Each structure stands twice: as structure tokens, then as C-alpha cells.
Chains A and B, each alone.
Chain A
Amino acid sequence: MGSKSSSLNKIPNAQELMQETGFSAAHILRLYERFEFLDVDQMGELRPEDFGAIRELSMNPIGDRIISAFFSPGKETVDFASFVRILAHFRSTETNRTRDGAQPEPANSRTRKLKFAFQLYDQDRDGKISREELLQVLRTMMEMQVTEEQLQSIAERAIQEADLDQDDAISFDEFRKSMEKVDIDHKMSIRFLS
């Protein structure tokens, strides 16, 4: 559509965003449409309530965490650039080859992906997944029938597996180590439609 090419101009810093995130123009456009759709009151910014309006998301056990990952600490809103930057974590690495070495690390690198996943647990952002934090995640994800005691022993075990320095919590390094064999690119990428 003719309106599409014109709308790319309407997006602030579109070129920079494409450069930074590796999304193509078509991707950016599509995401911008989605952004505007979510942005009910046309403020150019999304609030948590806007995310909450997505019906499927409310059924997602970790939906809340994903939503809060979009908001940097202390902020109540997210603008389009940050929105895209967050989503860029989920691009697959393989399509990234053409990037030059200028940027230190694209958002879809293994480490950044892991960091994102790590932050889903680490709600108090102290750089560690404590037992309580892990337990919270487990609690939301497991079925109702599992008892609290079972959850606790699972959390206990999971921590023990990853915890190398015996501080009863999982630091990011330990987290990365425990994920060493996982094909992160496989597991944490989606195909963005253009």
C-alpha cells in the first residue's frame, strides 16, 4: 500500500531503530501498526494497562512478568523505540549475519537473550535469582494440583543444580552456565512476520 511507505516517515528514528535492532523496514512498519493498535489513547506510549488488554496475554502464566520487562525501572510507559528494542531480543540470531561489528552486542545475541530471560525471574533486580523468586515463577507456572511443599523441593533442587558458589541463589553467570547446552537461539526466537 502507498500509505505504508509514507508511514515509515511517521515513525520517529525509524532508520536508527532498524540499524540498531536489525528489523527490516517491513518489520518496523508492522510492529508500528501493532503499537498503534495497542496504544488505545494515541499517546505514542504504552502503559501496562494497554498490554493487559491483550486477552491471550492475561491467560499467560508469566504474562505479567513479560509485560513488566517492557518497562524500565521507575517508568510507567514505554515508547515505540523501547518496545521494538525489547522485541528485538526475540529475533533469531541466524538472520543477523550482515551486521557490522560497530555495535557491541545486538539484542538478539545469546547473552542478551539470556539476560532477558534472567530478568524475568529476578524481580528485585539484585542480579540474583533467590529461592523465593524462583518459587514465585514456579508457582505461577505449575498446575494447581502441585502442593506448596512439592514446589519448594523443586525450587530447592533447581537452585542446588545451578548454584555453584553455594550462596543459595543463582547469579547470572551461574544461570548462563546452567543453560550452556540449551540451544537458546532455537528456544527464544520467533519469526517476526513482515
Chain B
Amino acid sequence: MAATWQFALFICMFLMESRGETPASDVTTMTITNLSNRTEVAPSSGPGNNSSEGSTSLAVVSWRWEHVSTPYLVALWVLVSWLCKFIIESLPSFVTNVIPESALLIAFGWILGGIIWAADLQQTFSLTPRVFFYFLLPQIILDAGYSMPNKLFFTNLGGILLYAILGTVWCAATLGLSLWGCQAGGAMGALDIGLLQYLLFGSLIAAVDPVAVLAVFEQVHVNEVLFIMVFGESLLNDGVTVVLFNVFDAFVKLGGPGINAVEIIKGIISFFIVAFGGSLVGLAFGLLVALLSKYTKNIQIIEPGFIFVLGYLSYLTADMLSLSAILSVTFCGVSSQKYLNSNMAESSVNTVRYVMKVFANGSETIIFVFLGISAIDKTIWVWNTGFILLTLLFILVYRFIGTFIQTWWLNQYRLVPIALIDQLIMSYGGLRGAVAYGLAAMLDDQRIKEKKLMIGTTLIVVYFTVILQGLTMKPFVTWLKVKRAAVAEVTLVEKVQNKVFEHSLVAIEDISGQIGDNYLRGKWKIFEEKWMSRFLLTSEARKKQDYIFNVFHQLNLKDAVGYVDEGERRGSLEFVRNESAFIDFKKKFGDEFSEVMPDIMAAASDDPDAMRRNPVSSVSLQMHEKTMQGMRETEDIDAHHLLQQHLYKGRKQHLHRYSRNHFDINTDDNEVQEIFQRTMRNRLESFKSAKMGLAPAKTITKHTKKDQQQKMPNGKSTDTSKNYYANNEGFEFSEGASGLEASGGSFPFRVNYRAGAGIENPTFMPDQDPMAPTQIPPWQAEDEPDGSTVSPSQRAQVRLPWTPTNLRRLAPLRISNQSTDSFAQADTPASQEKDKKWPPPPPPPSDK
């Protein structure tokens, strides 16, 4: 679904773009339109004639290329770019491990460019500033802001701002001045560029590109402080660069003599207003999205769309007000993420995350490929060795110098200073990318005669940094033994402890009477809890927003997945019944039950290593048991949903896709009808059978279990185990209860199943026999349409997860379905007539 969205949106975007541009018919317009003009020639001579003649008679089918040419070509190019990525991903891993993806994409761009050039279509493809800044960049920045690790970001905000603002100005100024000096010294031949133009060039080339940086650093896994420093800097620095560029551009327009002290001061003021104004606009939009998400419960389907639309609007609004659009969309993402994630339904949260990645990754790919293709534009290649080499040299040198000076200053105030090695990597990580190129393409060639040289140089700088520095980054990091990021294995103890640390730091600052970071953070927390959360979060979300609680939830989810995965690995969830579960039980109740449950104990001790080999599953089971005891009423925050979703699945898969508005599973009338009929019939059956003296259908409620126990004095082993379950409050199981117990159902059913399979008392056979096929555990019964027990969970990963509301609604129906299902199948002819599509259940596997 996400991919379709992305695709459709892209097409819309480009369509809008081409419409807006056509009247202007600029030279630098989206070049795809050029191509479309070119290709139109061919069809008009051929089938195109049909349509002209068709004015008199009706044409059955007509060739209407010109109607679709623009979106068609756009879509094609998107496809081609993505195929490049696809090819790259399928390259052998030793290539992709060594060469960063961005570099490979650029290389592919070259190849594509070469093909186009060979086909004599040169000069038609290039990344125009308009396409880049309005259709490719926003989603990347939005994604970066939205997935920003907020705490880390704000903890290091001081440093990031320092690098982003001062560092950028430093780089722009030194580069401009040095190049100018070199020109005056005669290092560049007959070049004649004014100081202002050099400064303008310096400002555009100072943009460290978040796309390139992310692409490289994500593969390297450096420690988080270093990462956030480089990444945060590159993100904010884009905004700063654009602002700086605009200021210098205005200066260039004014011309040398027009600039006096007043203008310079105005420039500086506008720099800050543009930067901070943009951030504020973003903040406002972010809070707006957050507020909106509080009320979108009823339109869950388009709920995830708001952040995209409003994020884009914040970008455009800031741009309209001539504020920094990049900073705006960054802060829109940063400020809204927390509230969105807690307000929206879990499926929407996943959708947003996923679609965000699709957008960002998609346009990132396109950008890099097109950066490569841009190289075929022959007109930009004005070679000036001095200019190009000096630019490369100065960029590198001044970045190092700037970083070292700033870090030295910063370290005076930092609690944990930034290590020398980290500084090296930080300097070396100054990759330039598409932003610089986009800005260079925006240069006004009326005023800047050497625009082409500048574009060419920018491209070379981009290639040089992305490919060469990107390539050497990983060996560098390994060689310098840069502290890597620890493998992020969240544990609850750790998270609890982190919280304790936080609080104690605040307390100690209070006691020692200083106003430090922690003090401010504490204040902010209180403020946020008091005001922001109240206005921006739904009441349920506020309930769940506690950090520790979230981690707990995540861990439970992970356990559940691990538990199911483990089951899949072994071919079924059989192991739950045979091994770890009973090992757990053995541990706890072994003493009491070892004599009454000999077979179970034997089964458990068959594989004593199982638990040690699979600590996850055993822990999860323990948790499972505990949570069942503790959290029966609050089932919606529990991992059991996931379990249930993985376990009970079946024929509903395909149905929901028909609905555009709902994911509700039971919207389909036939299905509801069917379930209803089945349930009713089964109830009738069970009623009948109970009357006839068979064991009652609903063996799973506490009371009936006890009844049953009395009825079956012979089945000693099963009785005691049942007794155990019945006595354990956690396994109380009643019809009509909510989703939690549905998954818990595996426990009683297991017992049932054992009762069926493990019959040892021949005298009991006649009674039990008709029930034997009924002892199919629900997961198997449900899985049968798929022909395997494994596939549903795999599909579950593909599907959108169900929302808790759905589950709760669904659960009673399902339970009643399951609990009586067996009887329907016992009554073989009737049920098989009814459910022809269901193959008969296989006999229960014997575990002896």
C-alpha cells in the first residue's frame, strides 16, 4: 500500500510541477518535458494520424502519448532510479560492504548518463533546483526530523548549533576569501571573479549534505554522540547554508558599491530571522499536526497522511514567507514525532514510519542517480585546474581547522569532551551533496559569469566527497578505533535505571544549587507534562506515554515475535506445549506435580537443553504467564495481541482489501453471517451433545472444567493437569472475554488435546472417541486453509497489524468460534458440507 501511495504522490507532484512550468518554458525546466517534446515527434507521424482522421469517425483505440507523456516519463525515471538501487542491493556483499551505496548510485548515474549520451539525447536530464527543492528534498528532511532521536539531539543541541551556524559561516568565509586571495595571487589563470561571488560560492559549497552523511554513517555505526553531531550539523547546516546563500545572493545583486554597513547589519539580522523564523514555523506546524492527530481516531485510514501534507505545507509556508524551509520541515518533524507516535493507532504509526522511509529513500535514490547523470551535461565542464583543486583542498583543510577550533571551545563546556578521534571523523564526514549542487544550479548566470565553472566544481566536489571520502570512511573508522555504537539491546533494568539516573541528576543539581542542563531538562519535563501533553495527547495516549512502560511494551512485543519465530523455526508451535512451557512449570510446580504428571515431566525432560538454548522463548513464556495474572483487564497494551494476531489467522486475509475505508475484519457480510451460523449451529450441537451425556462443549470455563473432572474419574493424569489450570487464576477462561484470553486459549486447549491424544484408559475410549478429532488445537484448526501451520505468521508480518479496537471487537466472536469449532468438525458430514473449502483437519499428532 505504501509503495502505491508513494508512486501516486510522486506522479501527482511531477504533474503539478510540469503544469506550473509549461507556460514559463524555462530552459532549466524539468528536463523530462524536453524529452517528451522530442519523443512526441515519432508517434505523431505514425498512429497520431489516426486521431486527426478520427474527427469524422469514431476511433476505437487511439494513441494519446502527449496526454500522458510527462507523468509517464517521470514514473519511468523513478522506476529506473529505483531499479538501480535494486541492482545495487543485489550486488555481492563484498562490494556493498566496501563501497557506500550513495557512491554506487552515483556510479550508476554515470552509466545511465553514458547510455543517454551515446543515444544522443544529451543535455536533457539534470536535476533542476525546482524539482530538487520542492519535490525531492522535503521528504528527506522530514524523515530525518521525524526519526530524529530527540533526546540525544537536544542534549547536544548547543554543539550542533555551534557547528551548524558558526562552522558553516566559517567554511563559507574562509573558502571565499582564500579563493579570492589565490586568484589575486594568480593561481587560477585568467579568472575574474569578485569577492562577493566567491563568498556566494563558498556559502553554497559549505552545505554538508545530510543525505550523503546519513548514507555513509548509517553503514559505519559510529557512537551515538558522534553520529548526532555530524547528522544534526548536516541537517541544520543545510538550512543555514540556504539562508547564507540568499543573503550573499542579495549582496551580489546589490553589487559591490551598494553594500555599506547598514546592509551588512541587515544581512546578519535577516540571517537570524530567516533561520529562527523558519524553525518557529516548523514548530507551529508540528504542534498543529500533533493536535490534529488527537482527533483523527475516526478517520484512521488517512490519519497517517496528515504529517506528510502538513509537513510539506510547513515547507512551502516557510518558503513563501522567505524563511528557511529546510529548518521549518526539520522542526516540524522533530516537534510532532512524540505526540504523533503516542496519539495515533499503532498501525498508523507504523504506516507513517514506513511511508516516510519509502519517500525519503526513494527520493534519495533518485537524487544520487541524477547527480551522476548530471555529469553528461557537457556545457558545465569548464575546466580550471587551479580553481577546482584549490576548492577541494580548502574545503578539506578549513573543515578540519574549523572543527578543531570549535570542538576545543565546546569541550570547555562539555561534561564529556569530544575525543580527538571523533573530531577527525567529524571533520572527515563533511560530505557535500545535492543541496550544494541544487544551490549551484540556482546561481544567476546574468550576474555570475562563471556559473558553469561553479556548477562543474560543485559536482566534482560532490563526487570527490561522496565517493572518495565515503569509501575511505569505514577503513578510517576501523583504523582509528573510533568508539562504535553499542549494540542496542534494550533491557528493562537499564531503562528503569536511566530514569533513576535522570532524576538523581536533577536532584543533585538542585541540592548543589546549580542551574545546569539537567535542571532545565527537569523544568521542561514538568512543563511538557503539565501543558503540552494535556493539549496534544489523547487521554489514552497519556496513559501509555511513560517511557519505562513503553519499553516494557516493546520488549513484550519483541518476545512475542521471538516466541512465534522460534515456533516457526521448529516447524510449529508444538515446542510451547512440549518443552519450555513445561520446563517453566516444572521449575515452579514440579515438586507438586511430578508424580501426577509423569508424562508431562517426561516430555519436558526429553530436551533439557531446550530452555538454555532458547532463553528468549522461555522468558517470554514466563512473562506470558505473569502478564496473564497481572494484566487481564488491561489487555490492550499487551503482547498477546501480537500473539493472537500471529496465531489465529485464516481466511480473513483477503477480505479487508476490498474496503477503502476500513481495516475491520468483519465488514464482510457473508463472513459475519457465516460465523454467526457456525456459532449458532455449534452451540446447538454442544447443547445436544450435553444433553446426550457427552462432555460439554465449553470445557474451558472454570466451572465446567470442574464438572468434567468429576465426570472423568479415570483420566487421572489429564484431570490433575486440568485441575492445575483450573486452580490457577491466570488461566481462567471464559467465553466472551476479550482478546487477551484468546491467545491464552492455547493453554487449556493444550490440555484438551492431551486428553485426546494421550488416552490410555481403554474403558474411556467409547466416550472420547467421537471427540478425538475435536481435540485439534485452535492454531492448527485455523491454519488449515493455508495448508501449513507456519505461513500465517509470515503473512502477519506483511499485513498491517490490527488495532486493539479491532481485536477486542473480534475476540468474543473468535473465541466462541474456536471453542465450539471442534464440535462442528466432530459432526463431520454437516460441517464438511458447510465448509467445503476447508480440508478436513489432520488427526492430532501423537506426541508419544
- Is B653 interfacial (CB-CB < 8 Å)? no
With a cutoff of 8 Å between Cβ atoms, the chain A residues found around residue B631 in the complex are 149-150, 153
- Is B677 interfacial (CB-CB < 8 Å)? no
Encoded as 1 (CB less than 8 Å from any B CB) or 0, chain A from 47 to 86 comes to 0000100101101111100100010000000000000000
Q: Which 7 A-B pairs have the closest CB atoms?
A: A149-B630, A145-B543, A34-B513, A66-B507, A153-B630, A158-B492, A187-B501
Q: Is the CB of B526 within 8 A of A161?
A: no
- Is A156 interfacial (CB-CB < 8 Å)? yes
Of A141, A156, A175, which is within 8 A of B548 by CB?
Answer: A141
- Is A117 interfacial (CB-CB < 8 Å)? yes
Name 7 A/B residue pairs within 8 A (Cβ), A-sorted. A66-B507, A143-B542, A158-B492, A175-B493, A179-B497, A181-B487, A192-B514
- Is B555 interfacial (CB-CB < 8 Å)? yes
- Is A94 interfacial (CB-CB < 8 Å)? yes
Q: Is the CB of A157 within 8 A of B492?
A: yes
Which A residue sits closest to B508, measured CB to CB? A90
Which B residue sits closest to A69, measured CB to CB? B504
Encoded as 1 (CB less than 8 Å from any A CB) or 0, chain B from 7 to 26 comes to 00000000000000000000
Encoded as 1 (CB less than 8 Å from any A CB) or 0, chain B from 509 to 548 comes to 1111110111100100010000000000000001101101
Given A56-B522, A181-B486, A190-B516; A120-B510 close (CB under 8 Å)? no
Of A37, A138, A143, A192, which is within 8 A of B496 by CB?
Answer: A138
Identify which of B452-460, B621-629, B688-696 touches chain A.
B621-629
Q: Is the CB of B549 within 8 A of A181?
A: no
Question: Bound complex: CA of A118 vs CA of B682, how far in Å?
Answer: 58
With a cutoff of 8 Å between Cβ atoms, the chain B residues found around residue A38 in the complex are 511, 513
* B558 CB, min distance to chain A CBs, angstroms: 12
* Residues in chain A within 8 A of chain B (CB atoms): 31, 34, 37-38, 51, 54, 56-57, 59-63, 66, 70, 87, 90, 92, 94, 117, 120-121, 134, 137-138, 141-143, 145-147, 149-150, 152-154, 156-158, 160-162, 170, 175, 178-179, 181-182, 185-193
Question: Bound complex: CA of A54 vs CA of B489, how far in Å?
Answer: 37
- Is B494 interfacial (CB-CB < 8 Å)? yes
Q: Is the CB of B546 within 8 A of A142?
A: yes
Q: Is the CB of B492 within 8 A of A161?
A: yes
* Residues in chain B within 8 A of chain A (CB atoms): 413, 415-417, 486-487, 489, 491-494, 496-501, 503-514, 516-519, 522, 526, 542-543, 545-546, 548-549, 552, 555, 619, 622-623, 626-627, 629-634, 637
Q: Is the CB of B497 within 8 A of A157?
A: no
With a cutoff of 8 Å between Cβ atoms, the chain A residues found around residue B519 in the complex are 56
* B794 CB, min distance to chain A CBs, angstroms: 28
With a cutoff of 8 Å between Cβ atoms, the chain B residues found around residue A34 in the complex are 511-513
Q: Is the CB of A92 within 8 A of B626?
A: no
Question: Bound complex: CA of A191 vs CA of B160, how far in Å?
Answer: 19
With a cutoff of 8 Å between Cβ atoms, the chain B residues found around residue A181 in the complex are 486-487, 489, 494
With a cutoff of 8 Å between Cβ atoms, the chain B residues found around residue A56 in the complex are 506, 510, 519, 522
Question: Bound complex: CA of A134 vs CA of B499, how far in Å?
Answer: 13
With a cutoff of 8 Å between Cβ atoms, the chain B residues found around residue A146 in the complex are 543, 546, 549
* B518 CB, min distance to chain A CBs, angstroms: 6
Known contacts A61-B503, A147-B634, then 13 further A-B pairs from the complex at CB < 8 Å, ordered by chain A residue: A37-B513, A56-B522, A62-B500, A117-B500, A149-B634, A153-B626, A154-B552, A161-B493, A179-B497, A181-B494, A186-B416, A190-B514, A193-B514
Question: Bound complex: CA of A59 vs CA of B634, how far in Å?
Answer: 29
With a cutoff of 8 Å between Cβ atoms, the chain A residues found around residue B623 in the complex are 153, 156-157, 160
With a cutoff of 8 Å between Cβ atoms, the chain B residues found around residue A121 in the complex are 500
With a cutoff of 8 Å between Cβ atoms, the chain A residues found around residue B505 in the complex are 90, 188, 190
Which B residue sits closest to A27, measured CB to CB? B512
Question: Bound complex: CA of A175 vs CA of B416, how far in Å?
Answer: 24
Of A60, A182, A185, which is within 8 A of B503 by CB?
Answer: A60
Which A residue sits closest to B504, measured CB to CB? A66
Which A residue sits closest to B501, measured CB to CB? A187
Q: Is the CB of A142 within 8 A of B549?
A: yes
Given A120-B500, A137-B500; A189-B416 close (CB under 8 Å)? yes
Q: Is the CB of A62 within 8 A of B507?
A: yes
Q: Is the CB of B416 within 8 A of A92?
A: yes
Q: Is the CB of B512 within 8 A of A60?
A: no
Q: Is the CB of B416 within 8 A of A178?
A: no
With a cutoff of 8 Å between Cβ atoms, the chain B residues found around residue A193 in the complex are 514, 516
Question: Bound complex: CA of A147 vs CA of B794, how far in Å?
Answer: 34
Which B residue sits closest to A170, measured CB to CB? B493
With a cutoff of 8 Å between Cβ atoms, the chain B residues found around residue A87 in the complex are 508, 511-512
Q: Is the CB of B493 within 8 A of A178?
A: yes
With a cutoff of 8 Å between Cβ atoms, the chain B residues found around residue A175 in the complex are 493
Which B residue sits closest to A31, measured CB to CB? B512
Of B499, B518, B545, B634, which is within 8 A of A190 by CB?
Answer: B518
With a cutoff of 8 Å between Cβ atoms, the chain A residues found around residue B508 in the complex are 66, 87, 90, 190
* A50 CB, min distance to chain B CBs, angstroms: 10
Question: Bound complex: CA of A134 vs CA of B486, how far in Å?
Answer: 26
Q: Is the CB of B548 within 8 A of A142?
A: yes
With a cutoff of 8 Å between Cβ atoms, the chain A residues found around residue B489 in the complex are 181
Q: Which of B510, B542, B543 has most A Cβ within 10 Å?
A: B510
Which A residue sits closest to B522, measured CB to CB? A56
